[in-house]
Structure 1
Amino acid sequence: MALKDRIFSVLEQDSTLQTLVGTNIYQGDLGEDFDNPPAIVADFATVRNVMGCGGEILYGEKICNISIYAISQKHVLLFMMLFKILYLPIWIYQMLNFNLLSGMKMLNGTD
């Protein structure tokens, strides 16, 4: 069953498409050649009433107010690792800054 058919079959039951969040999709569904299927359908939580919209659903294409983000699982993991690595120095700085400030307050006897 193609992704478009799945979307409209879900629409008959649930017009918010929330049941499609996290659905796995495969190469044939989007008409694109992915290196790393399955991809993840994300960000359907805010979609409202798209009945009557037609056309083929391609990678990243907007159909009415549906936005489809097909991201390979490898890219999601890579992004999360990169975010953690970039955020680590900020977290360390915040912890040191907080500890230094609280230590200074204790030494000065002020709150």
Structure 2
Amino acid sequence: MQVGTSEAIRYASLEITMDIRDERALTAVKNVYGGSIKLRSGVSALRYRLHNKEGLLNLINDVNGEIRNPIRLIQLNYICVKYNITLNYPSKLTLNNGWFSGFWDAEGSIAINAGSN
């Protein structure tokens, strides 16, 4: 999420840029929260933008408690403060949590190095 540059947050928006092959994923997000999808100039990528307050509030409530990336968690906190929403921290990961499979699926590779000692 992006926020205004002054100390008082004046607006909030969400931008997601993905490879053009992931258009269906961006369309699914757009169908739930609104917003727009535009082709990025000069690259084979699409940018999804969400500016409307209703869609942003729905998205914040849906992702609140699910964000694990520390930078994104800080950004979400700024937005939660702006809209007077309590920030929920994610639950502790366990071996039975589906997060690991999603992480490996998104990362796309696992490397194992074995020494010859």
**Greater helix proportion:** 1
Give me the TM-score of the superposition, normalised by structure 2: 0.22
Larger radius of gyration: 1
